[in-house]
């Protein structure tokens, strides 16, 4: 009997945890790397860092042509998530939800939200999605 197709049990799968290279400061998210992508340090000494929930869109694309069972248009973005405290941001890729296309631009502030991506029939597969922050209603 084989294991589950999708294993989302790591702590960083449910929390905004990044891994900072101690040699150069580059931050990996969501996986801890054995080799730093920036400086090539191997084996890289990585330290766990907490990332902020709010970040900034660096680039984005609006996907128009996807398989029929996927809703379009579907905007996706690369977002810089700063560390809580000081340090370089982590770069994350994710879907934009609950956001009008007119609200999306480079430099737009977004907030990370933990959401269900899809279900494999037995369990939901969760990850982070991004949306433009909304004012809380009183």
Q: Give backbone dihedrals phi and psi of 114, rounded to 5 degrees, phi first.
A: -85, 115
The three-state DSSP-derived secondary structure of the chain is CCCCCCCCCCHHHCCCEEEEECCCCCEECCCCCCCCCCCCCCCCCEEEEEECCEEEEEEEEEECCCCCCCCCCEEEEEEEECECCCCCCEEEEEEECCCCHHHCCCCCEEEEEEEEEEECCCCEEEEEEEECCCCCCC
Q: Where are the domains of the chain?
A: 5-137
The pLDDT profile of the chain, 138 residues, written as one tens digit per residue, is 444 444 444 554 567 889 999 999 999 988 888 999 999 989 999 999 999 999 999 999 999 988 888 888 889 999 999 998 888 999 999 999 888 999 999 999 999 988 777 777 777 777 788 999 987 655
Tell me the whole-structure pTM to 2 decimals.
0.79
Among candidate residues 81, 90, 87, 13, the one with its CA nearest the CA of residue 53: 81
């Amino acid at each position: 009997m084989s294991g589950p197709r999708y294993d989302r049990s790591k702590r960083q799968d449910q929390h905004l945890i990044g891994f900072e290279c101690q040699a150069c400061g580059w931050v990996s998210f969501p996986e801890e790397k054995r080799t730093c992508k920036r400086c090539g340090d191997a084996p890289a000494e990585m330290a766990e860092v907490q990332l902020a929930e709010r970040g900034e869109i660096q680039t984005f694309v609006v996907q128009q042509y996807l398989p029929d069972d996927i809703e379009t248009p579907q905007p996706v973005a690369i977002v810089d998530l700063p560390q809580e405290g000081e340090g370089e941001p982590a770069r994350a890729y994710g879907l934009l939800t609950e956001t009008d296309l007119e609200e999306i631009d480079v430099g737009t502030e977004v907030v990370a939200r933990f959401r269900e991506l899809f279900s494999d029939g037995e369990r939901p597969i969760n990850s982070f999605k991004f949306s433009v922050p909304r004012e809380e209603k009183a």
